[in-house]
Structure 1
């Protein structure tokens, strides 16, 4: 199976070269060998190696917004079969639906979901809990990248310049103007969440390169890749990614997850035990990572975070957070702000 995740890293290297960064030096500083990375049969990269590449690319390019600019510049062909599915879809909405359905073939860093409202459709991006807890600086660069690329991937495929009505991300007054330029939007919301909101009319905008027969070919190929990918993933990882992608809906019960996977609760528990984990441990991990994310952002009071994470009482959230970290949410937030 083609490693599209590694292909994305190679595109990162290519973009770094355009920023006058030596690929040999970038790889050396990141503990990688360029020759090995470019070999087709080489092993997939570990998350720590990917994180190191992003950090060093940002430093060596002297571009604090490296992820944002990388996302703006990347061509849709870099997505391989997923990019071809988008290019040959009938409408923007159809292309986005396919992109989100197969995003895990490209990256395990982010989950994406589409939310429809009366006037808009929102693309919400949720970072992987493990990455978020262990490498928050890299996560922000990568979220900037995926948001910018999501917006610009349809450039040249439609007759309109797609512009969001609002964007949620983290930025400062210093770089606000650049975020407005890249996202083509003056309504920026400084937030711990990541989301792009578009007028509903864009959903049905025709794609100029639409081709049903080619789309069918690429959909068949993407489905084959996806089946192989799913078989290689553990059940606990699949559940974790599902919980992250749907975190805005709250944390579902074990019974609800079992129903979603079309298995019994007892069977689900047994299969998780075989992987050495319980459903409670998975949900605790998700809640902990999201709590740290929201507290560190400084955008939400602890009572609101408690509600977002599904706690009926603030005291219950305080007890859980102390169990996870050894301190209270308030103290953790103070240290984050002052540190």
Structure 2
């Protein structure tokens, strides 16, 4: 299962510490990590990074623009061989195509794609499923980081144009004016995906550092890094999947969404869990069971509402599942 560089998380933590005075040590310790373990070769899964960001977010929730500010300071150094490979391409178009092909080298919580539309083009980021409380934070970091990356690439070719439009897939916030000022272009909210609309003529621009030898070398480095990451074992998959699911407060993700969070295809994801003697459905049931018991024990939330919180469309289905798990109904469990 492919992992990703820890550099983006490290940079994010550094910016949070510098700008918000937050000591990351206790949060990292809860995840069995230390800041001095971070280096250029360290890796982490998307799900594990998301778990750490979830804990960090608690102390940043007072600033809804935190992720935009953090992502806007990302530099090319955080991308390592990935950035060097893209800068060695002959044209902007070739760089975008290669960036999509090697997108596992990026820090994004989105799938990258590309569209041509007449005289313009779109770089599209389709966000992965994340816990609702992190939805805006993760999207903002992806948008701001990608905008910064595109700006740095433009500087290389002597361009200073801005996107024609940026689309962001969540409802228009109170701080919408800040986004247009930050990105210096119209920003449209409430769309299905993240979209950077750019002039098509930029695609033909040549890159000043174009070098076929260097490009081949950096592609080999990227291939080697991806190969090494796929062989890293950082705990059982079942344990990490369960921990990932526990972050979701309401409806839990489908197996396809969860597989993407672990940089895996659904088919491979099922196979890996089977090799550990479990299934995704069993892990879902276990997490739902634990969440249900906590709500029944520690709140006055109705059985109907608990069913909805756990993703059931009707309470009868939840009651049947709960009785299968514990041998009694939720009401009987609460009375006991």
Q: Hey, what does 1:327 align to over in structure 2?
A: 313
Shift of 1:84: 0.8
Shift of 1:73: 1.0
The TM-score normalised by the length of structure 1 is 0.61
Q: Secondary structure at the match of 1:73?
A: coil
CA distance in 1, matches of 2:200, 2:138: 26
Shift of 1:139: 3.5
Cα contact 2:108–2:142 (8 A) shared by 1: no
Q: Secondary structure at the match of 2:44?
A: coil
Shift of 1:240: 4.4
CA distance in 1, matches of 2:43, 2:101: 25
> Could you give the per-residue CA deviations for residues 172-211 of structure 1, whole angstroms, max 9, x where no partner exists?
3521111112322124243242221112112122223333
Q: Hey, what does 1:337 align to over in structure 2?
A: none
Cα contact 2:71–2:141 (8 A) shared by 1: yes
Q: Hey, what does 1:158 align to over in structure 2?
A: 157
Q: Hey, what does 2:294 align to over in structure 1?
A: none
CA distance in 2, matches of 1:270, 1:67: 32
CA distance in 2, matches of 1:270, 1:106: 21
In the alignment, structure 1 residue 191 sits paired with structure 2 residue 177? no
CA distance in 1, matches of 2:40, 2:133: 30
In the alignment, structure 1 residue 19 sits paired with structure 2 residue 19? yes
Shift in alpha-carbon separation, 1:178–1:108, aligned structure 2, 3 A: closer
Shift in alpha-carbon separation, 1:195–1:218, aligned structure 2, 3 A: same
Mapping 1:195-214, distance limit 5 Å? 195-214=195-214
Count of aligned pairs between the two proteins: 254
Q: Secondary structure at the match of 1:172?
A: coil
CA distance in 2, matches of 1:270, 1:76: 32
Shift in alpha-carbon separation, 1:53–1:27, aligned structure 2, 3 A: farther
Shift of 1:78: 0.5
Shift of 1:83: 1.0
Aligned Cα RMSD in Å?
A: 4.1
Shift in alpha-carbon separation, 1:271–1:20, aligned structure 2, 3 A: closer
Q: Hey, what does 2:221 align to over in structure 1?
A: 221
Shift in alpha-carbon separation, 1:193–1:207, aligned structure 2, 3 A: same
Shift in alpha-carbon separation, 1:187–1:61, aligned structure 2, 3 A: closer
The TM-score normalised by the length of structure 2 is 0.62
Structure 1 unmatched runs, 5+: 245-260, 262-267, 283-321, 329-339
Shift of 1:275: 5.7
CA distance in 1, matches of 2:13, 2:205: 33
CA distance in 2, matches of 1:183, 1:125: 17
Q: Hey, what does 1:144 align to over in structure 2?
A: 140
The structure carrying a bigger helix percent of its residues is 1
CA distance in 2, matches of 1:141, 1:218: 31
Q: Hey, what does 2:101 align to over in structure 1?
A: 101
Structure 2 unmatched runs, 5+: 238-254, 281-307, 315-336
